[in-house]
C-alpha cells in the first residue's frame, strides 16, 4: 500500500513509492494515544542499495543543472510547504505529540531553510589563483560530492529532513534520507513536495527502517560520499567511526547539556520565562533545551521561585490549542528514562522544587535544586522537561564548570554587563552562545552545530557549502 491518504508509506525511490523487498511493514503509533497513525515500510539492505543507486544515477544525469534550476526547485518547494502547512502541522501533532505552536514554528522554519538554500545556489563561488608558472591560468572551483545520506531524528522531523536535503540539492548533490521510525511521515510528505516542485526523479530518495540496519548500510555504502546525522551522541559516534573507515565526510549534530548562566545583575523577570521555555518547550525533547542553570548566589533563591512560578503555570491538554505548551513524551521508554534520572537525583539529595513525576506520557515540568555534578541528571542529556539549578560565586567559575563538560552545543548568559557578556562569549567552549536570550534558537543561515560530544561540522545555508562540496584545482597553459 502506497496511498498517502491512508498514511501507509512505501519507500520513495527514483520518484515512485515502492513496497519493501522483504515485505516487512511496521505500524507507527502516535505518542498522543498509542493509536496507529499509519504504517511504513521497513527497509532491507537491498532497499537501501536501490535508493543509493537511484541517487547516484540521478546525480550523474543532473550534473549540468543550472543554478537557476536548483534555485527554482527549492523556491517552489518552499511554496509547496507553505501551501501544505495545515497538513504538515497536523502530521507533526499526530506523529510526534507536538503542541500546535511548536508544529507551526517548525513548518515556518523549514520554509525559511528552503528559501535560504535557494539563495545559496548562487553563492557557490570559486577562486582565481596566482601562479609562478609563466602563462598558466590557475583557478579553483567547487564540485558536488555526489550522494549524501541524511539520518534524521523524531523531535524536529520536518526541519531536519529539509536541512539534510535542501542544501545538498542546492550544491548539486543527490540525497538518500533515513527518517526516525518514530516520526516517518514528514520525509514522505517532503518527497512529494519536492517532486511537485520539479526536483528530478532520483535526486531525493527516502527509505524507512532501523538505524542499525539501514543507517549502517548507508554509512558504509561505497557510493555514499557524505553522511549528515542528527541524533544521540552514542549513535553519532557509531556513524562517525564507520564513515571514517571509508574516508567519508560527516556532519554530526548530537547531544547537548545546555547551560544558562544568570548573573547577579540579570533581569530575572525577563530571564526566568526564557529559561523555562528553553527547558520545557516540546517537553525538553530538543537538542538545544536548557537543562542546567547556573545562578549567581545573590539571585539563586529568587530565580528558583520565578522558574517554579512559570513552570507550574504552563498549560497542557489539547495539542491543537495554541495556548498548550506541554504535551506527551515521544514514548513510554523515554518518559521512564527521565523519571529514573529524576528519582536517582532525589535519592542522592536533590530537591524537587516542582514537578518530578508524570501522568501517562505527560511529564510535569520539573525544577531540581541542590544537585551536584556526580548525579547522572547532571552528566547526561536528559531530553525531558527537567531543569537543574546550581549557584555560583564568580563568573569564571561558572565558565570553567561549563567547559569541563563533554557536551558543548549551546549556552546562554543573562546579564546587564557588556564586559561579562563578552568574557563569557570569548571563553565559553560551546559552539553557540546567546546573550540575554534562550538556548533554543535557530536561523537558516547561521553556522549551526556543536563541539566535543555535541557534534562535528556545521549546518547552515552558507557554511554548509563548505561541507557539501569539494575543491578542484584547474590549470590551463
Q: Which residues contact 418 (CB under 8 A, 6 or more apart)?
A: none
CA distances from 471 to 131, 133, 169, 335 (A): 17, 21, 17, 46
* pLDDT class of 364 with cuts at 50, 70, 90: very high
Nearest residue to 113 (alpha-carbon basis) of 179, 181, 190, 185: 190
Q: Are residues 192 and 320 in the same domain?
A: no
User: Would you say residue 1 has pLDDT above 70?
Assistant: no
Q: Are residues 227 and 283 in the same domain?
A: no
Q: Are residues 431 and 354 in the same domain?
A: yes
Domain holding 350: CATH number? 3.40.309.10
Domain holding 60: CATH number? 3.40.605.10
Return d(Cα 214, Cα 233) in angstroms, integer: 18
Nearest residue to 29 (alpha-carbon basis) of 257, 282, 255, 331: 331
- For residue range 162-213, what is the model confidence (pLDDT) as tens digits? 999 999 999 999 999 999 999 999 999 999 999 999 999 999 999 999 999 9
441 found inside a domain:
no
Q: Are residues 286 and 191 in the same domain?
A: no
User: Would you say residue 386 has pLDDT above 60?
Assistant: yes
Measured in whole angstroms, how far is the alpha carbon of residue 415 from the centre of its chain? 28
Q: Are residues 41 and 145 in the same domain?
A: yes
Q: Give the chain's domain count.
A: 2
* pLDDT class of 8 with cuts at 50, 70, 90: confident
Q: Are residues 398 and 249 in the same domain?
A: no
Q: For residue 370, what is its C-alpha cell?
A: 541542590
Q: What is the mean pLDDT of the chain?
A: 96
Nearest residue to 47 (alpha-carbon basis) of 79, 22, 76: 22
Q: Are residues 347 and 319 in the same domain?
A: yes
Please tell me the pTM assigned to this model.
Answer: 0.95
* Residue whose C-alpha cell is 526523479: 201
Return d(Cα 315, Cα 100) in angstroms, integer: 13
Q: Are 226 and 252 in contact (CB under 8 A)?
A: no
449 found inside a domain:
no
List active site positions: 253
User: Would you say residue 110 has pLDDT above 50?
Assistant: yes
- For residue range 269-297, what is the model confidence (pLDDT) as tens digits? 999 999 999 999 999 999 999 999 999 99
Q: Are residues 151 and 186 in the same domain?
A: yes
- For residue range 50-80, what is the model confidence (pLDDT) as tens digits? 999 999 999 999 999 999 999 999 999 999 9
Q: Are residues 207 and 326 in the same domain?
A: no
448 found inside a domain:
no
Q: What pLDDT does 461 receive?
A: 86
330 found inside a domain:
yes
Measured in whole angstroms, how far is the alpha carbon of residue 3 from the centre of its chain? 28
* pLDDT class of 3 with cuts at 50, 70, 90: very low
418 found inside a domain:
yes
User: Would you say residue 4 has pLDDT above 50?
Assistant: no
Q: Are residues 246 and 267 in the same domain?
A: no
447 found inside a domain:
no
Q: What is the 3-state secondary structure (H, E, C) of the chain?
A: CCCHHHCEECEEECCEEECCCCCCEEEEECCCCCCEEEEEECCCHHHHHHHHHHHHHHHHHCCCCCHHHHHHHHHHHHHHHHHCHHHHHHHHHHHHCCCHHHHHHHHHHHHHHHHHHHHHCCCCCCEEECCCCCCCEEEEEEEECCEEEEECCCCCHHHHHHHHHHHHHHCCCEEEEECCCCCCHHHHHHHHHHHHCCCCCCCEEECCCCHHHHHHHHHHCCCEEEEEEECCHHHHHHHHHHHHHCCCEEEEECCCCEEEEECCCCCHHHHHHHHHHHHHHHHHCCCCCEEEEEEECCCHHHHHHHHHHHHCCCCECCCCCCCCCECCCCCHHHHHHHHHHHHHHHHCCCEEEECCCEECCEECCEEEECCCCCCHHHHCCCCCCEEEEEEECCHHHHHHHHHCCCEECEEEEECCCHHHHHHHHHHCCCCEEEECCCCCCCCCCCCECCEECCEECCECCCHHHHHHEEEEEEEEC
Q: For residue 21, what is its C-alpha cell?
A: 523487498
Q: For residue 255, what is its C-alpha cell?
A: 547531544
User: Would you say residue 233 has pLDDT above 80?
Assistant: yes
Q: For residue 216, what is its C-alpha cell?
A: 549502517
Q: Are residues 46 and 60 in the same domain?
A: yes
Q: What pLDDT does 2 receive?
A: 45
36 found inside a domain:
yes
- For residue range 444-473, what is the model confidence (pLDDT) as tens digits? 999 999 999 999 999 998 899 999 999 999
Q: Are residues 211 and 311 in the same domain?
A: no
Q: What pLDDT does 462 receive?
A: 86
Q: For residue 284, what is its C-alpha cell?
A: 525538553
User: Would you say residue 245 has pLDDT above 50?
Assistant: yes
User: Would you say residue 433 has pLDDT above 80?
Assistant: yes
248 found inside a domain:
yes
Residues forming beta bridges with residue 16, ordered by sequence position = 13
What is the span of the domain harbouring residue 286?
258-435
Amino acid at each position: 500500500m502506497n496511498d498517502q491518504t491512508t498514511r501507509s508509506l512505501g519507500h520513495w525511490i527514483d520518484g515512485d513509492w515502492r513496497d519493501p523487498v522483504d515485505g516487512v511493514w511496521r505500524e507507527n503509533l502516535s505518542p498522543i494515544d498509542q493509536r496507529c497513525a499509519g504504517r511504513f515500510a521497513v527497509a532491507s539492505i537491498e532497499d537501501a542499495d536501490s535508493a543509493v543507486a537511484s541517487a547516484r544515477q540521478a546525480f550523474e544525469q543532473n550534473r549540468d543543472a543550472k543554478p537557476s534550476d536548483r534555485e527554482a526547485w527549492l523556491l517552489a518547494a518552499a511554496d509547496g510547504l507553505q501551501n501544505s502547512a495545515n497538513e504538515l502541522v497536523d502530521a507533526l501533532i499526530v506523529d510526534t505529540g507536538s503542541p500546535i505552536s511548536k508544529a507551526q514554528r517548525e513548518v515556518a522554519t523549514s520554509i525559511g531553510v528552503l528559501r535560504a538554500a535557494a539563495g545559496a545556489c548562487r553563492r557557490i563561488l570559486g577562486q582565481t589563483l596566482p601562479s609562478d608558472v609563466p602563462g598558466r591560468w590557475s583557478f579553483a572551483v567547487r564540485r558536488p560530492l555526489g550522494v549524501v545520506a541524511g539520518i534524521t531524528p523524531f523531535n524536529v522531523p520536518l526541519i531536519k529532513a529539509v536541512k539534510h536535503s535542501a542544501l545538498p540539492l542546492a550544491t548539486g548533490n543527490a540525497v538518500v534520507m533515513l527518517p526516525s521510525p518514530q516520526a516517518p511521515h514528514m520525509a514522505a510528505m517532503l518527497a512529494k513536495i519536492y517532486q511537485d516542485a520539479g526536483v528530478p526523479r532520483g535526486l531525493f530518495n527516502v527509505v524507512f527502517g532501523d538505524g542499525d540496519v539501514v543507517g549502517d548500510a548507508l554509512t558504509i555504502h561505497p557510493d555514499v560520499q557524505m553522511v549528515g546525522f542528527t541524533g544521540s551522541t552514542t549513535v553519532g559516534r557509531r556513524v562517525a567511526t564507520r564513515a571514517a573507515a571509508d574516508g567519508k565526510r560527516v556532519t554530526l549534530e548530537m547531544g547537548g547539556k545546555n547551560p544558562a548562566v544568570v548573573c547577579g545583575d540579570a533581569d530575572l523577570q525577563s530571564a526566568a520565562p526564557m529559561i523555562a521555555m528553553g527547558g520545557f518547550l516540546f517537553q525538553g525533547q530538543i537538542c538545544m533545551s536548557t537543562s542546567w542553570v547556573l545562578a549567581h548566589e545573590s539571585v539563586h533563591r529568587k530565580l528558583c521561585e520565578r522558574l517554579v512560578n512559570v513552570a507550574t503555570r504552563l498549560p497542557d491538554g489539547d495539542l491543537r490549542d495554541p495556548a498548550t505548551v506541554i504535551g506527551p513524551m515521544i514514548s513510554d521508554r523515554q518518559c521512564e528514562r527521565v523519571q529514573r534520572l529524576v528519582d536517582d537525583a532525589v535519592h542522592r539529595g536533590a530537591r524537587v522544587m516542582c514537578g518530578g513525576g508524570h501522568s501517562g506520557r505527560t511529564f510535569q515540568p520539573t525544577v531540581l535544586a541542590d544537585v551536584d555534578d556526580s548525579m547522572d541528571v547532571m552528566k547526561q542529556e536528559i531530553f525531558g522537561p527537567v531543569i537543574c539549578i546550581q549557584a555560583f560565586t564568580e563568573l569564571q567559575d561558572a565558565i570553567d564548570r561549563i567547559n569541563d563538560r563533554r557536551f558543548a552545543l549551546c549556552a546562554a548568559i543573562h546579564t546587564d554587563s557588556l564586559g561579562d557578556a563578552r568574557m563569557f562569549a570569548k571563553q565559553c567552549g560551546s559552539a553557540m552562545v546567546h546573550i540575554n536570550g534562550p538556548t533554543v534558537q535557530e536561523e537558516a543561515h547561521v553556522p549551526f552545530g556543536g563541539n566535543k560530544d555535541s557534534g562535528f561540522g556545521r549546518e547552515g545555508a552558507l557554511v554548509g557549502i563548505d561541507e557539501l562540496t569539494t575543491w578542484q584545482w584547474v590549470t590551463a597553459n
